[in-house]
Chains A and B, each alone.
Chain A
Amino acid sequence: MGKNKNRQFFDFSKNGTNKAQANCDWYKKQFPSIQFRYKDKYIDEQNAIWIQDSDIVMMGVDNHKTRKLASDWCSQLPNVTIISGGNNLTNGDVMLYMRRNSHDITPPLTNDCHPEIKYPQDRHPNEIGCDELVESVPQLLPMNLIVSSWMVCALDTILAIGDDISVNNVPFHIQYVDIRSGASRPVKRD
């Protein structure tokens, strides 16, 4: 059912339901006029093709291998937006990778500032055996909420700018947040 079951809001009344399907079913009930589809597999080298030209990818994965995989796949697409959120216990970040007309307007997630993504040392979920016990690391709800909120803020800004988005007006390359100091800092890497 997923190691983070106690942090999920959707309906678990159907025990054993795939998390993506359960989430999809919940959203369909809440927003019947919007089309939702789910994929019951982790994204990997074979199915990354699901991400297509002009897609916007809201990515909240918990491993750098998947981040690299998505970034590498998207680097081949003429137009794409990845909004990738991640956090530690009390700090986190939202990274943007955007391409327009086959040009990077923000750096890929695998840029030289982030060797942890460029050369990931962790494991893809498909590399973890079904019977392997995976310990769920503690997380704080406000940290999850603020990162997801910044992801939605980024999406809203990108949609508001629309087709005029460029290297000069992209809101940030990475937004850092810290819930202990109360600080947030947008960064554009030269």
Chain B
Amino acid sequence: MSELLQGNMITVISGANEESYNLEDLGRNPTVEEIASILADVMNINPNAKIRRRNPDKEIFGDMVDRNYRPVSGDEIEFIMEAGDKG
């Protein structure tokens, strides 16, 4: 039963921040572009960010994905924050 309750969890990362979300709370099989739009303000996501995927259970350790990629359970999706442009 506990496995059923865990659902399809993904981790969304932007800069220093990372949060876990249930995929079903982010839409109906959402793309990373749609996820970025939903979480843009909450997680300070740049809509033009490069996107990197990790899923250790599936032996994925840092693949770049395009904006149409649809995350699966266990994915860690990083919207790579641009280097700070002030010094």
Residues of chain A at the chain B interface (Cβ within 8 Å): 59-64, 67, 84-88, 91-93, 95, 109, 112-117, 122, 137, 139, 147, 176-178, 181, 183-185, 189-190
Q: Are B15 and A64 in contact (CB under 8 A)?
A: no
The number of inter-chain residue pairs (CB within 8 angstroms) is 79
Residues of A within 8 A of B18 (CB): 183, 185
Q: Are B86 and A62 in contact (CB under 8 A)?
A: yes
Residue in B closest to A137 when the chains form the complex, CB atoms: B86
Q: Are B83 and A86 in contact (CB under 8 A)?
A: yes
Residues of chain B at the chain A interface (Cβ within 8 Å): 13, 15-18, 44, 50, 52, 61-62, 64, 80-87
Residue in A closest to B83 when the chains form the complex, CB atoms: A86
Q: Which of B15, B64, B81, B87 is most buried by chain A, counting CB atoms within 10 A of its CB?
A: B87
Q: Are A93 and B61 in contact (CB under 8 A)?
A: no
Bound together, the chains give a CA A91 to CA B16 distance in angstroms of: 8
Q: How far is the CB of A188 from chain B (nearest CB, A)?
A: 10
Chain A binding surface, main DSSP class? mixed
Q: How far is the CB of A100 from chain B (nearest CB, A)?
A: 22
Assuming the A-B contacts A60-B87, A86-B87, are A114 and B17 also in contact, with contact meaning beta carbons closer than 8 angstroms in the complex? Answer: no
Q: Are B84 and A87 in contact (CB under 8 A)?
A: yes
